[in-house]
């Protein structure tokens, strides 16, 4: 079974201190799993998390399948999010996504075969004045011109 390193376990103890009940710390702990596991929560972690916070296995699975950021498969080294919500979707976000899929040769929700880049279609990420918006790792790229998507991807590939 997987587990946290002793350094991370210290963080876990700190997190438990901040909540009246251990089970409330499930999401923060899942975020640690994401950080330590290429942005995903592998299924083997379900039991570990359940034991750590003292809930049932179904509770953990219920939670992980509820939140759409929580994926079972590892992400690429870089993660691109394309917003296709309103307003982004109506300001060219849908085209940005299409071009992005073409440029990367994958669909949203997939990772390039070399494990470099994963692509996600997201709902509004609260920066709508910059529509159409994409997020590359933790950085925003605003008013993305669909015609320049290929350049962005090429630049990322070079990195």
Partner 1 sequence: MLKETLLLAKNIRTDGYDGSLEAYRRAGGYTALEKVMKSMTPDQVIEVVKASGLRGRGGAGFPTGMKWGFIPKDRKPTYMVCNADEAEPGTFKDHFLINNDPHLFLEGMILGSYAIGCNHGYIYIRGRSVRPAQRINEAIEYLYKAGLLGKNILGSGFSLDLTVHRGAGAYICGEETALLESLEGKRGQPRVKPPFPATHGYNACPTSVNNVETLACVPFIVKEGAEAFKKIGTPNNYGTRLVGISGHAAKPGIYEVAMGVSMKQIINDLGGGVRGGKKLKAVIPGGSSSNVLRPEEIDIPFDFDSVAKAGSMLGTAALMLFDEDTDIVELAYRTILFYNHESCGQCTPCREGTFWLRNLVRDFRENLGDSQKLERIGRVSQQMFGTSLCALNDAAAGPIKAFVTKYPEEFKKHFI
Partner 2 sequence: MPTFYLDDKPVEFQEGQTILQAAMAAGTEIPHYCYHDALSVVATCRQCLVDITDLGNGKGLPKLATSCSTQAAAGMKVSSTNQKVRDGQNIINELLLVNHPLDCPICDQSGECDLQNYAFRYGTGHSEMAYEKRTYGWRDVGTFIMLERNRCIHCSRCERFSMEIEGHHDFGHFLRTHELTFDTYKDHQITHKFQGNLADLCPVGAITEREFRFKKRAWKLERTPSVCPGCSTGCNITVDHNDGKVERLKPRENKDVNQWWMCDEGRLTYRKANDKTLRLTEPLARVKGALVPAAWNALLEAVAGKVKDLSASGDQVVAVADLDSTLEELFLLKNLLAGAFGSGQFFAPHAPESAAPAGARFLETLITPDKTPNAQGAKLLGFQSEAGNKGMEKALGKAKVVFVLGAPEASPALLNAARKAELVVQVAAYRSEWFDMADVILPALTWTEKYGTWANKQRRVQALRQAVNGPGEARDPLRILPDLMRALGQEASFAPAPDVLDRLAKGEKKFAGVSWKVVGQQGFTLA
Q: Is residue 56 involved in binding partner 2 (CB under 8 A)? A: yes
Q: Is residue 87 involved in binding ligand FES (CB under 6 A)? A: yes
Binding residue for partner 2, selected from 9, 57, 127, 154, defined by CB under 8 A: 57
Is the alpha carbon torsion for 27, 109, 155, 128 positive or negative?
Answer: negative
Q: Report the partner that residue 110 touches, choosing among ligand FES, partner 1, partner 2, none (CB closer than 5 to 8 A by kind).
A: none
Cβ proximity of 117 and 111 under 8 Å: yes
Query: 48 vs 116, which CB is nearer to partner 2?
Result: 48
Q: Any idea which residue has 């394309």 for tokens? A: 82
Q: Return d(Cα 18, Cα 33) in angstroms, integer.
A: 18
Q: Report the partner that residue 69 touches, choosing among partner 1, ligand FES, partner 2, none (CB closer than 5 to 8 A by kind).
A: partner 1
Q: Is residue 57 involved in binding partner 1 (CB under 8 A)? A: no
Cβ atoms within 10 A of the Cβ of 54, count?
11
Q: Would residue 77 be called left, alpha or beta, if left means φ above 0 and alpha means ψ between -120 and 50 degrees?
A: alpha
- What is the strand order of the sheet 139-141 is part of? 117-122, 78-83, 134-136, 139-141
The contact set with partner 1 (CB under 8 A) reads 18-21, 23-28, 30-31, 53, 55, 59, 62-63, 66-70, 81, 84-87, 89-91, 122-131, 135, 138
The contact set with ligand FES (CB under 6 A) reads 83, 85-88, 124-128, 131, 133
The contact set with partner 2 (CB under 8 A) reads 43, 46, 56-59, 61-62, 65-66
């Amino acid at each position: 079974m997987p587990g946290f390193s002793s350094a991370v376990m210290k963080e876990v103890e700190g997190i438990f201190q901040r909540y009246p009940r251990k089970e409330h710390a499930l999401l923060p702990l899942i975020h640690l799993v994401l950080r330590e596991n290429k942005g995903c929560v592998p299924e083997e972690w379900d039991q570990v998390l359940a034991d750590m916070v003292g809930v049932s296995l179904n509770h953990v699975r219920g939670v992980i399948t509820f939140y759409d950021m929580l994926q079972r498969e590892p992400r690429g080294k870089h993660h691109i999010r394309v917003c296709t919500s309103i307003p982004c979707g109506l300001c060219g976000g849908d085209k940005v996504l299409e071009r992005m899929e073409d440029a990367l040769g994958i669909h949203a929700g997939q990772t390039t075969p070399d494990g470099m880049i994963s692509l996600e279609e997201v709902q509004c990420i609260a920066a709508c004045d910059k529509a159409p918006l994409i997020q590359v790792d933790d950085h925003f790229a605003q008013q993305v011109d669909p015609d320049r998507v290929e350049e962005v991807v090429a630049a990322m590939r070079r990195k």
